[in-house]
Amino acid sequence: MKKIMIILAVIIVPLVFNKYNAEEQVVIPNDAIRIRVIANSNSLEDQYEKQVVRSNIQLYLQDLLKDVQTKEETANIINANMINIDKNVGTSLKEIDSNMKYRVNYGQNYFPEKEFKGITYPAGNYESLVITLGKGQGNNWWCVLFPPLCLMPTQEDAMDNVEYQLFVNEIISNYK
């Protein structure tokens, strides 16, 4: 009986997880406004600088864009606040004693092909806010500003104290 339960668990668990992953797929609309932060290089220091800039700009934009309802409204607010966005990046870098040069651009910017949650998005030019640190030759972080897919508080933030258990281990321990 134990062996049957284990075999069933091994077969059923992947099917259950695949079902939930398929339901979680988020399709980015063609008329979305994206954001991208590109690191100077892939060195640990440059990737850290990218993460600091990403975190700070994400918080700033979350507050700035919290009430937007349309793509046009989002674009207008970003354009009206480009000086403040630029200052936010500069302040973020100064906080970590970095003198890294950077560029902030809003408009049609190139994005390489990207797979996100099982969907491949083709390379191309997309309306976006792009922050390039230094030479911009490192790995990048990107997300969507409108619709606000990356400005919502993440479930990861709300789940810091969650205890994770492997479902298969739980089933096996119940039948020992």
pLDDT greater than 60 at residue 72: yes
Low-confidence winner among 82-96, 111-125, 126-140, 156-170 (lowest mean pLDDT): 156-170
Average pLDDT taken over every residue of the chain: 80
pLDDT greater than 90 at residue 64: yes
Residue 111 lies in a domain: yes
Domains held by the chain: number: 1
Residue 116 lies in a domain: yes
Residue 2 lies in a domain: no
The Cα–Cα gap between 126 and 141 comes to 15
Residue 127 lies in a domain: yes
Residue 3 lies in a domain: no
Residue 55 lies in a domain: yes
The pLDDT of residue 81 is 98
Residue 45 lies in a domain: yes
By residue range, what is the domain housing residue 79?
33-152
SS3 per residue for 65-99: CCCCCCHHHHHHHHHHCHHHHHHHHHHHHHHCCCC
- Residue of 63 and 116 predicted with greater confidence: 63
The average pLDDT across 55-77 equals: 95
pLDDT greater than 90 at residue 22: no
